[in-house]
Amino acid sequence: MDEFFKTPIEYLKGVGAARADALKKELGVASYGDLLQHFPFKYVDRTRFYKVKEVSPELPYVQVVARLMHKEIVGEKAAKRLVAVAQDDTGPLELVWFQGITRIEQNLIVGKAYVFFGKPAFFNNKTQIAHPETELYSNNPTQSNGSLALQPAYTSTEKLKKFLLDSKGIQKLVLALLEQYGRTIAENLPENLLTKHHLINRTKAYQQIHFPNNFEQLKEASKRLKFEEFFFLQLKLLKNKLFREHKFKGNKFGKVGACFNEFYNEKLPFPLTSAQKRTVKEIRLDTQKGIQMNRLLQGDVGSGKTVVALMSILLAIDNGFQTCMMAPTEILANQHFQSVKQLLGADFVEVALLTGSTSKKMRNVIHADLESGKLQILIGTHALIEDKVQFKNLGFVVIDEQHRFGVEQRAKLWRKNSIPPHILVMTATPIPRTLAMTLYGDLDVSVIDELPAGRKPIETKHFYENSRLRMFGFMKQEIAKGRQVYVVYPLIKESEKLDLKNL
């Protein structure tokens, strides 16, 4: 990142030490770059003008052009206020100010037309705006009415407001920064990428994300800055991947042996789909390179991910390695264990299940069989990463639903062998390929995009709260047909720590 972005925020004119300290503590804004990347959380549309008769308290904001007819300061001490009346051709609008009233009163000229902008209310049977933003109206199309067509709104805090750094105050700082230094923002994407993807330059992007003239400009700026963020994230992930490929050598699976062939030719209960065959081939090629494989296997429920994982496991066993499969819950680990046992049949290879519920006696047997090399497939939960679980020669790891495990937990499996094992990550979460490349940029991606013959595609439907009874009716119909319905709740019992609905 260029030095401009690292410049301390206190160097910006109008900030100073006290404001800079507040910005750092309250918003984490410590530099010019932090301020530029403190993006508006919304934009108030200043393109529409209302007639007074159209103004309603239900509207969040209104903008009215009206001629000032009267002004006066009324009340005393705490009740002192400036009250004014403006009018258009549909009726009067009352305006009231409680702060800075002397300065405001001096600047308001009776008989002039103004643009008034603010939150409307109905008070004492009058349409009213308190503390409106005010600007002289101009019918000259080259001059601004409403200052900004889309007015940015920034996150602030009560403490910052004491330093006059509410949304408007932050807007002024951003504007000052762009006016003073906008042209010094260095471009960080090559020209060919800008042309290829129809992206605006970096300076223009920051100007338009903060102060767009219309929604098209906002869209352009957002597209450019999102592209930049993902582009550099991808570069970082690619760098990590290349580093790992050079640093972490992998075991070579040089042959396809008896276990793989017997399962494929005699035990496979159904023909593989083209997608399954393609994925097995990709894994086969990866494991021949002598570089640690890190591959994401994505496929819907019922698409046959487990069979692909099992065939990859058998490939490892044929080459003299042990394997393991880690699932996030005991239920899922048990399902994998039963599925693998059913697919392989009795006495094909040594398979065991290790979870938190496994007895101490059985754990001791599993630990011993792992260390001797007798146990070839270990399926389990977090229990697999315990220090007591030691493999003789771990060569292949399958992780189901990776997002349920922390980075450190996965790394512990890597350290179970002197040469890091090959890693296959499975997920049923439907992720668009471009997003998968971003989320898992350090992994190669395989997608099983077709279902085995006879499998019906899964339908996912979203019901809003007002369709709850219709959903219950559908559930009742399915139960009447002898089918089952699963209802998933965040919690079974009420929790003191989590404010979530329980069963």
DSSP track, 193-232:
HHHHTT---HHHHHHHHHS-SSHHHHHHHHHHHHHHHHHH
Q: How much is the pLDDT for 498?
A: 46
Token readout for 454 is 């006879």
Q: How much is the pLDDT for 411?
A: 63
Identify the weakest region by mean pLDDT among 339-343, 353-357, 462-466.
Answer: 462-466
Closest CA relative to residue 210, chosen from 93, 329, 42, 72 = 42
Residue ending a domain, among 448, 476, 493, is 448
- Model confidence band, residue 45 (pLDDT cutoffs 50, 70, 90): confident
Average pLDDT value for the chain: 86
The whole-angstrom separation of Cα 464 and Cα 10 is 49
Same domain, 139 and 56: yes
pLDDT surpasses 50 at 496: no
The whole-angstrom separation of Cα 408 and Cα 222 is 34
The whole-number average pLDDT for the span 168-192 is: 92
Parallel, antiparallel, or unpaired: how do β-strands 133-136 and 113-118 relate? antiparallel
Number of domains in the chain: 3
Q: How much is the pLDDT for 350?
A: 92
pLDDT surpasses 80 at 218: yes
The whole-angstrom separation of Cα 291 and Cα 251 is 7
Closest CA relative to residue 228, chosen from 217, 216, 236 = 236
Same domain, 268 and 133: no
Q: What CATH number has the domain bearing residue 286?
A: 3.40.50.300
Please, are residues 412 and 387 in contact by the beta-carbon 8 Å criterion? no
The whole-number average pLDDT for the span 67-81 is: 91
246: in domain: no
Same domain, 438 and 375: yes
Closest CA relative to residue 144, chosen from 13, 274, 46, 76 = 46
Same domain, 315 and 373: yes
Which of 232-236, 426-430, 431-435, 459-463 is predicted most confidently?
A: 232-236
Closest CA relative to residue 422, chosen from 399, 404, 402 = 399
Same domain, 111 and 134: yes
229: in domain: no
What separation in angstroms does the CA of 32 have from each of 11, 184, 218? 9, 12, 21
Q: How much is the pLDDT for 21?
A: 95
pLDDT surpasses 60 at 259: yes
9: in domain: no
Same domain, 476 and 384: no
End-to-end Cα distance, the chain = 50
Parallel, antiparallel, or unpaired: how do β-strands 322-326 and 377-380 relate? parallel
Token readout for 75 is 């009340």
Q: How much is the pLDDT for 300?
A: 79
Same domain, 129 and 263: no
Please, are residues 397 and 415 in contact by the beta-carbon 8 Å criterion? no
Cross-strand bridge partners of residue 116: 64, 134
Q: How much is the pLDDT for 141?
A: 46
The whole-number average pLDDT for the span 472-492 is: 84
Q: How much is the pLDDT for 109?
A: 94
Helices and strands per DSSP (H, E), number in the chain: 17, 16
Closest CA relative to residue 440, chosen from 237, 226, 230, 227 = 237
DSSP character at residue 248: -
Q: What is the residue range of 114's domain? A: 47-147
Please, what sign has the CA dihedral across residues 27, 28, 32, 33? negative
Query: 3-class secondary structure for 406-475?
Result: CHHHHHHHHCCCCCCCEEEEEECCCCCHHHHHHHCCCCEEEEECCCCCCCCCCCCCCCCHHHHHHHHHHH
228: in domain: no
Q: Which residue has the tokens 């404010």?
A: 499
Residue ending a domain, among 82, 113, 147, is 147
Instruction: Kindly state the percentage of the chain with pLDDT values over 70.
Output: 87
Same domain, 360 and 496: no
Residue ending a domain, among 125, 147, 169, is 147
Count CB-CB contacts under 10 A for residue 94. Answer: 17
399: in domain: yes
What pTM was estimated for this model as a whole? Answer: 0.59
Same domain, 465 and 424: no
What type of residue is 153? A
Q: How much is the pLDDT for 44?
A: 84
Please, are residues 409 and 416 in contact by the beta-carbon 8 Å criterion? no
Please, what sign has the CA dihedral across residues 354, 357, 362, 365? positive
Q: What CATH number has the domain bearing residue 71?
A: 2.40.50.140
- Model confidence band, residue 437 (pLDDT cutoffs 50, 70, 90): low
Count CB-CB contacts under 10 A for residue 208. Answer: 22
Question: Could you give phi then psi for residue 494, rounded to 5 degrees?
Answer: -60, 140
Instruction: Kindly state the percentage of the chain with pLDDT values over 90.
Output: 50
Closest CA relative to residue 237, chosen from 34, 436, 408, 5 = 436
Q: How much is the pLDDT for 3?
A: 82
30: in domain: no
The whole-angstrom separation of Cα 439 and Cα 444 is 11
Q: How many CA atoms lie within 13 A of 5 on its CB side?
A: 14
Same domain, 336 and 478: no
333: in domain: yes
Q: How much is the pLDDT for 356?
A: 87
Dihedral (Cα; 3, 6, 11, 12), 10-degree rounding: 90
pLDDT tens-digit readout, 125-173: 889 999 998 988 877 544 455 456 788 999 999 899 889 898 889 999 9
Closest CA relative to residue 50, chosen from 58, 61, 41, 39 = 61
Token readout for 205 is 């992007």
Same domain, 502 and 394: no
Please, what sign has the CA dihedral across residues 412, 417, 420, 425? negative
Same domain, 406 and 502: no
The length of the chain, given as a count of residues:
503
The whole-angstrom separation of Cα 88 and Cα 54 is 11
- Model confidence band, residue 304 (pLDDT cutoffs 50, 70, 90): confident
The whole-number average pLDDT for the span 74-80 is: 87
The helix/strand/coil state of 303 is coil
294: in domain: yes
Burial (CB count <10 Å: 0-12, 13-18, 19+), residue 306: buried
Token readout for 355 is 């979870």
Identify the weakest region by mean pLDDT among 79-88, 141-150, 306-315, 322-331.
Answer: 141-150
